[in-house]
Structure 1
Amino acid sequence: MSSVNKKALSETDIISKFIMPAVKEAGWDDMTQIRQEVKLRDGKVVVRGMVAARKKVKSADIVLYHKPSIPLAVIEAKANKHEVGKGMQQGLDYAKLLDVPFVFASNGDGFIFHDKTSPQRLETEIRLEDFPTPAQLWAKYCAYKGYKDSQLPIITQDYYDDGSGKSPRYYQLQAINKTVEAVSSGKDRILLVMATGTGKTYTAFQIIWRLWKAKAKKRILFLADRNVLVDQTRINDFQPFGQAMTKIMGRKVDPAYEVHLALYQALTGPDESQKAYKQVDPDFFDLIVIDECHRGSASEESAWREILEYFNTATQIGLTATPKETDEVSNIDYFGDPVYMYSLKEGIEDGFLAPYKVVRVDLDIDLQGWRPTKGLIDKHGHEVDDRIYNQKDFDRTLVIDERTQLVAETITNYLKRTDPLAKTIVFCNDIDHAERMRRALINCNPEQYAKNDKYVMKITGDDAVGKAQLDNFINPKRTYPVIATTSELMTTGVDAKTCKLVVLDQNIQSMTKFKQIIGRGTRIDDKFGKLWFTILDFKKATELFADERFDGIPEKVISTRPSDINDDDSDFDDIIEGHVSEDEETPSSNETDFNSGDREFDFPEDDGSPQTGWDDEEETTVTKYHVNGVAVKKVGERVQYYDEDGKLVTESFKDYTKKTLTKSFASLDEFIKRWNSSERKQAIIDELESEGIIWEVLEAEVGKELDPFDMICHVVFDQPPLTRKERANNVKKRNYFNKYSEMAQAVLNELLNKYSDEGVEALESKDALKTGKVVEFGRPIEIAKKGFGGKKEYEAAIAELEKAIYDTTPDKSA
């Protein structure tokens, strides 16, 4: 290799000619221990208007593994023109995602070795021939982790691989490995916190598979509280367990199986005869995985908790997207601090979860309140109490038909402007509200209803016909139903990948419930074009996005009554207003329906009966009034976007572009210098798109079809813009083509016209000489040779033409 000019080699050449040979020479097996171009993130989706673009992400050059389930090291390469450690910071970023202690950076001359297991000397330079062997790195890794020999058979058990190429994402692998490590070390209460849509069930499957295959756990129970969750798990992620798996049915635990899936409600009940779990000994299960453990298993009084306490010798793993912390319910108190957390914000930043835009709609009566005329009689013959009703009352204690109608019209108009067949979930206050909203939406969409009478369906716990359509609603291949009105049933456990619109017309005070509802839209489905979703908010629920608890572990929340608080204690204003009843939607043991007589149990939701509330010490029954003839108007509509800091902001795309690009280019001169020095302008355009710059949206907002160069100069640096046509005409005015032959002049003039119509990509395209009138001059190779003297001369002419197009000096011909 001594004759090779390293400085002239590309990064790819450096990897193939120097780095990979050094790694293989050290004994690493490229079939099982080496992966190249490891893509760890999908690329964040940036949304503006009705257009979305993914930011481009880089891949880790090389990742080294002990086994596919255990990454050990990252190698980041750079071309030889760079210093040997140039890629270290990039490599450290990948190492953090993979949770590995070893990073190597190289330019082909040697390696900089970053070793977290040696804190006294973190980074050293080593020769190519001194690259560590697999045994050396594994020994250092085990010592760093503190593994005992007894743990290794469990820790080194591979995850399930179906041969399709699917493997756990980086955060799933971290969750799996940290959980398996915890179990191998003897920990028996483990909590995993992963945002909705990030694959908790798949992660749970891989954890169970590794522990089961390693024979560390022999009888496993997977617990859920919704029948749909159990069936989805059995049919999808847990399918590889095959004949070793069963669903507990008819209140009978069959000891012939090793993996048991069950509803809590099928195992227990208020009567001793219903406690099916007592058919087996307390040590029957040695592993229990609790899905959605925030909802009830953490409550000491719940029927669910009694199952966990009966099998208290089993290792118990809780899965949740929304940790629950109140004075009465705490899954952290029960399971301990999470061994791993992956948040909604992280999921959106990585491009695994869909970002959202929020359309907040304010109605006049919601903002101003409404007071009935004296002696007003409602539709049912009741005299309406004379007081001011506000947003919290509507559809809870007071129904106004015109408000329901206006909400339905707003939903309909939004769908008509965007996509009338976009899957939509409308969250209502109760079943009665969901039924009225269903009727209003049908009346607003007669054309769609005529095409299919399932265009709008009420999907609630009390309606067998609606519940039967749930599978069709969540199936991306089924067009209908399009709109689902609901109250509680669809808040969790509904894997609606293609849901593009979430409508909030429900009073949501619980952060847990809010996270669950938002989670209905956060799944991405590239195949069906679902990259983002919209939240249409009529009840100010999205103000919860600003709550610091939204994307993390909540602080302890104390539930109390006004009578428990001193009148002069202003710190409890929010409690008095009812903003912190975190546990309001947690089902208690006596809410579970044990009377249906078979194995199909689901929590019932609000049945539309009169609501109960409290005032001082006394609980009172609240009557629901129903009126019409009230004028209701929209007084405002505001659009907000999820920004790069994970916050909702109200800003134009021009503002977003300016804020984003001033981070890359401090001045106009810096941008122009970078643009002019680039061999291919399209490379810069692609780079800007990877930062989330969506040219179509920018053009629509600016109102002009500008070249990206002028768009940036105008939007970011406030320069007067020139259109592509104006730039092309300026070149022609300068008699620019006179120095070329007649044929070359004709070709360049035609290409300049193509630039004027299509942009700089038309000049730089490999097919530039194969389209339009240019083809009349012959094949590309003939044009280059006859018109310019050869391929290199043609490329030089194009580069010079681009320079003339973007010449920023004053026009001398003017």
Structure 2
Amino acid sequence: MTPEAQARQQIDHKLEQAGWVIQDMKQLDLSVGLGVAVREYPTDTGPADYVLFVDRVACGVIEAKKDAAGENLTATERQTERYAHATLKWRQDSQPLRFLFEATGQLVRFTDGADPAPRSRELFHFFRPQQLKAWLAAPNTLRRRLAEHMPTLPTLKLRDCQVQAVTGLEQSLALNKPRALVHMATGAGKTFTAITSVYRLLKFGGAKRILFLVDTRNLGKQAHQEFMAYSPPDDGRKFTELYNVQRLASPSIDPHAQVCISTIQRMYSVLSGEPMDDAADDISLNEVQQTPSQQKWVRYNPAVPVETFDFIVIDECHRSIYNLWKQVLDYFDAYLIGLTATPDNRTYGFFNQNVVAEYGYEASVVDGVNVGYDVYEIVTVVTQKGSELKAQEWVDHRDRATRKKRWAQTEEDTRYTGKELDRSVVNPSQIRAVIRAMKQAVETQIFPTRQEVPKTLIFAKTDSHADDIIQIVRDEYGQGNAFCRKVTYSEKDADGVLTDFRNEYHPRIAVTVDMIATGTDVKPLEVLLFMRDVRSRGYYEQMKGRGVRSLDAEGLKRVSGSAEGAKTRFVLMDAVGVEKSLKTDSRPLEKKPHVALKDLLQGVAVGHRDDETLLSLGNRLVRLAKTLDEKAQARIEKLSGGVSVAVLAKGLITALDPDAIVQTALATAQAQGLARTEETLLPQELAAARALRVAAACAPLDNPALRDALENARREREQIIDHINQDEVVFAGFGEQAQAQAVTVVQTFAEYVQQHKAEIEALSFFYQQPYQRRALAFEMVEELHAHLSRPPLMLTTERLWSAYARVQASAVKGANRQRQLTDLVSLVRFALGLEAELRPFADEVDRRFQAWVFRHNAQRATAFTPEQMEWLRMMKNHIASSCSIGRDDFDYAELADKGGLQKVWQLFGKELDGLMGEMNWELVA
């Protein structure tokens, strides 16, 4: 099947998924459904690939292109416009078709001709016919309403920063900018601002439905409460009296809801078809480290089409939107509106540097919206240096999950560091020392006049750590259960405890892991104690943000009766060095993100067997496996002895599985006649088992050819998208350097052709006898292109043609046309001096075809019939894209759809093989 036919198949499948009926022109029947896509519809400029009919009215056109490396659909837009403005046969209406699509099997781009300054955009999938019908019936498009019909914002009861955010966003939308970032400090009212914008987009912008993405279920509940409390300035009713708001807790979206509140992980579950544990909604994505096994691809869901949402508001747009979960944002044809208090370079890059409002923490403190903070450090010996347990010491051993204890002796000396505290080792004395230091500092130095403990939040490492802290806090303060409570997702009444912590006298101290680490509003907080470190800079800022909210004197006194005046500051108590520890914008999945793939491969080859190297290489190969086409996979499997890239990656990762290492060690011991159990295995036996597994996983990588193939495959298929480093234009236009580069490209190519003519099969074609020239096959051209396009040459067909167009412009034809791989044949012939002009290969095939047909008809008793000519042209087109034609090629869709080998044999009979041989010789050689 030709690439074009494969693309058409995939386009047909996508259209059918979206509810379109696919028809050939000869089977035209517009009564079969609301939406009909007619293939090869005749126009006065030639047949259009697809014309879309909705309610029997032609309204759109699809220009189909093959899937190809570097396929640029924007270059096809003029062709689509030509069909949209062409006269359709049998059509009464002369108006241009409104909806313009360009598509390959993988990509879809769309332009609405009714938009102001129509601009194409990429879609995940085609729209349903119902959507196009609704757009045709509407007096204006969404983008025209945003540009022309948004009234002035009433500023009553809005802060200046909120006015700036709403107006800045609407100005951005009026310019049809697809992404916008609102940077507002914690406590400045981001959610209120967002709801104000949502209300205006629904009422004046005519938005159908808006998705409000939150980080956790708790934050979704909080956002829902704010929607219910919101009263617009121009209507006395509440928001939820005017519009339906759904908090998504199932796989179905309420068709009557105008606002849908969801975590991004739940929406991902809906789209990917993967079942979701409800508990996943409770975990902040700041705390989730994605692994390769978690990657499931979002697929088209007819129940949730791409046009479901017009806008997506991303509350606290942290790092989760840049990895696996980004698929949710890519799926919907919607504007993206980001809200964050802690942007980083990646945030700015993702939102195209379109910051519509910027209101930082410092400005919010100056305005009295937030309060400043002081840092109070608590350092203990064990926290700083760790400690050691000697062998044969009697201590508790506690199960992490059930917390069941057993009293037993330690088997060996156990040295632990401060970082291992409360994970593999718990030291109650360390926790007690920190709590005592906090208690004394608050009572004697920080808030010496308070009669009650200020509202305090303690960040713990784990749920088990939180339980240990609670017991010691209650003990040290001599208080009951109500005084200190846990606010984590494992707590049955976590929401009730949080509400009491915010509004009631008890609890005075709350201990959490991550439930209220981001977004949750607890204004009376005056002390934050960090008993866990945080590596993510953004997450740390979010956690600090729990204490920054200002509160008036009345509000503070309601929960802390001895407080005098309004909240003016909070104190960050650092018991783990969190203020000084190295922060990163995000936590990488792999251990060596800055080490190049080739260096990881070389490291393994020379004997690096550490966990970091193997895991990093495994993760890198997992990603590479997802990008490779069948030919690249086949090349690598040939070198690896039949092992795929995915299996190589899995082998590296699973080689380090502790349970599997234990089983290998037990099997080895048994084979040696040794009686061993998991408890009696020696460290050297486990090390030997690990080495055995790792050696087997790494063995294929001893082959240097395989390592080179993996590195070349990455360079060929992988692009790095840099959202970090921002850019600006300093010069636009051609200069002397560009001309010099073109000359170098041409010279390099000519020299390569001369030097390697004996090495590469495709090149040797041009130096052999005429009879042997018939052997030119598409595989040869592909092999040559692979040689040329790899580093260090990087001589792609497109680059070569462009260089010749600059250096020898008068001899180059078709420079502005889309290049195809077979144009490389023309480039080689021109470089060798076999042709005086550089013409696209398809043009040369066309010219030779005309001459061949003319000569053949002159020699025949009867000329080719019109039906025979139609088949000959299809065969000629196949040769233009594939260099040759044979019997097997009639199985490809374009030829098979017309009847294939059986039909062409009926037309030509025994002449067929001879004609194909002539065409292969006459049109190519």
TM-score (norm 1): 0.46
Greater Cα radius of gyration, structure 1 or 2 = 2
TM-score (norm 2): 0.41
* Structure number with higher helix proportion: 2
